[in-house]
Each structure stands twice: as structure tokens, then as C-alpha cells.
Amino acid sequence: MPEHFLYERLYEFVLEEISESRLCPGDRVPSETELAERFGVSRITSKRALRMLADAGVVDRRRGKGSFVSADAHRLDAVREAESPAAPAVGERAGGTGCLALLLPDASETYGLDLMCAIEERAAEHGYHLVVRRTRDSQQVEEDAIRALAGGTVDGMLVFPVHGEFYNASLVRLVLDGSPLVLVDRYLPGIPACAVCTDNAAACRVLTEYVLDQGHTEVAFVSPPVENTTSIEERIQGYRSALHERGLPASAERCFTGLQSTLPEPGSDSEAGADRAAIREFLDREPAVTGFVVCEYNLAVLLREVLAEVGRRDPVGRGDPAGYLIACFDSPWSRAAAASFPHIRQGQQEMGRRAVDLLVAQLNGEDVPRRSTVPFELVTP
């Protein structure tokens, strides 16, 4: 941890310039951009420092013109003693907004609601309000939201990145600018941003091993398109790893990754007809498959419906070759739904709490790990 918070360096720099008469009453103070470039910090940090100097009466901020040393600069000794940023009120550090932003595709009982609630509760414990924006898995909505909230509207952002082939330019810009940011649930390969997620490879390996242990040696992996989505990429790795460990082939043909009906948001039926047809075609092409490892609960439900339609039945006995077994990630809270499929329960609450802690640590000028994983649990009927 550095000796001082980042914004303190800027705050003390301006005070020192005034104290040494390098800046006099009426002189223009370096702008947010100039301070950010000089000290290698984000504009959010420089804006905080200038806002706190204005709150202390050291500078006057004039819209469209900049910040200027106030006529009360002689109050420097009092300012240093009474308004020092060394111990700012929680959630109001350096004249910040006291708000954090959460951008996520959606929140449902299946996945996301526990995460969102944990983030809101942890933010409140740190003294922050939370602004929530659902992106509905749209890159355009995500980009617009980031642009609207960046630049001091909020003190920092937690972003659950949308599903997509390309990185969001505004999100990448936040990283390059050094803005306080934590990615939740997914990380972006090659982008040096702090991220909190599940160890998806390990989780899917455990899930696949469970299916294999129930006597199903012909197992398929089912998901939406991969499209540079790290959670799906890692789950495929875990699926293949489990098969290799048992000496079973992990053919590309059994990685069925083209389903679209849960995009842009869970529960959407815009592509349900096409997905049903695609599942039927897959089952015709791979009739030996009796085990299914599915990336999402809603796709598991759709798969089960199609299996019933084509006459495949859920076995009473584990070894019934005519039957099938579906296992998935996450499940609704209700006992009836939770009993429907064996599933991986991700640590949403821990993920949310840790993400906020890491974001606040960044706001305090602390170094944070690039990636952090949270525990998961295999839930069986």
C-alpha cells in the first residue's frame, strides 16, 4: 500500500504550490487532465483532489474555465490542519460522489440477484450508495452507460461484462485510464483489469465428473456461443479435462455452443424456436449422448423440454441407457427448481463482497490483485 492515497499527492501538490507562492490568488490551477497526466492517475482521481480543494475554499472552480486559487489562500495552515484528506469520511473521500456503479446484464433468482444484493450491502457498509444499470447483455447499452457514468459521476465501477466477440471500447478505455474498476464474474484476457470470478474450469470439471460418476460416459457440453467469453471458455476447458482424465474422447462435435435463446437476457424467447430446432438436430447427430453439461439453467430447462418432445425420458434408475442426465450451472432458489438438476452453485455473495472491497481498495490507492476467484459448491438432488 502506498504511503498516501493517490488523490492526497495531488491535493498536497496544489497546496505546496500555493504555499511556496508558485501559485497566487487568481492564478489558474492545473486542470484535471494536466494533473492526471503529470501524476499518472485517472481523471477521476484528479477531479476528486480539485473538488476537495474547492470544498476547503482553497480554489474556486469556474464552469468552462477551470480552477483558480481563491482569495482565501492565506487560510492554508488552517486548511492543512482541519481539511487534510488523511482521514476523510467513508464514502466521501477526496470530495467524491459517494456513489459506486454496478453494470450487469440482468439479475434473476437463477443468477445475479444474490450478487447484486451482496454488492449493494457491501457498498453501504463502506458508506457508498450504489447506482445499478442493467445492460441486458447489449454492448451498446454497456458502452453508453460507461460513458454516462465515467468522469466523476460515480467514484468507481463494478462491471459484469456483456457477452460478445469484441471488447467494449469504453470499458477498455476505463482500464487504460487507470479508473477504479472491478470486473465481476468474467475477466478480459489481455486487459489488465482487476476481476473477481468463479474458477470456471475447476467448477465445470467437478460438474462433468459428477455426470460421469452416474454412469454417463457419452457426455456433451451445451452453451451459448463462446465469443471470447472467458467463463464459457474455461468451462469448456474443465469439461474436456474431466473427460481426458477418464480416458474418454472430448470431440469438438460434442461441444454444442450455438444456442441463442438466453441472449440478450435470460428468459428471452426470441430465439427459442431456432434453439429447439438446433437441439433436435444435435440429438439426431449424436444419439449416443446421454449426459449433458449445460452452461446455464434456462438452457438446461429448454434442453429437457426438447428431450421430452423427442421421446427421450429422464431415467428412474441411474444406469438406464434409454435415459439422460442434465447438469448445469446455477439454479433458482425454490426447492422444486433446485431439485431439477444437479448444478454448480457459484459464490455470488462472496463474489459481490470481494468485488466491492477491491474497488474501495483502489479508491484508497492500494494495490489489488489482477484476478481473484471465489469458492463454488456442487449441489446434487
Predicted structure pTM score: 0.73
Q: How far apart are CA 175 and CA 290, in angstroms?
A: 44
Question: Which of 201, 284, 285, 303 is closest to 244 using CA atoms?
Answer: 201
CATH architecture of 6-95: Orthogonal Bundle (1.10)
The full set of domain ranges for the chain reads 6-95, 99-198+348-376, 200-345
CATH superfamily of 99-198+348-376: Response regulator (3.40.50.2300)
Evaluate whether the domain defined by 200-345 bears CATH number 3.40.50.2300. Answer: yes
In the block, which residue shows the cell 433436435? 280
Q: How far apart are CA 329 and CA 204, in angstroms?
A: 8
Q: How far apart are CA 138 and CA 163, in angstroms?
A: 8
Helix, strand or coil, per DSSP, at residue 196: strand
pLDDT in tens, the chain (381 residues): 233 456 778 888 888 888 888 988 999 999 988 988 888 877 777 887 888 888 778 888 888 888 998 886 655 555 555 444 443 444 444 457 899 999 999 999 899 999 999 999 999 998 899 999 999 988 899 999 999 998 788 999 999 998 876 778 888 888 888 899 999 999 888 888 999 999 999 999 999 999 999 999 999 999 999 987 889 999 999 999 999 999 999 899 999 998 988 765 554 555 688 999 999 999 999 999 999 999 999 999 999 999 999 876 554 434 344 489 999 999 997 766 655 899 999 999 999 999 999 999 999 888 899 999 999 999 998
| pLDDT score at 323 | 82
Q: How far apart are CA 300 and CA 304, in angstroms?
A: 6
Same fold yes or no, 6-95 and 99-198+348-376: no
Q: How far apart are CA 327 and CA 212, in angstroms?
A: 11
Residue 53 is placed in which grid cell?
480543494
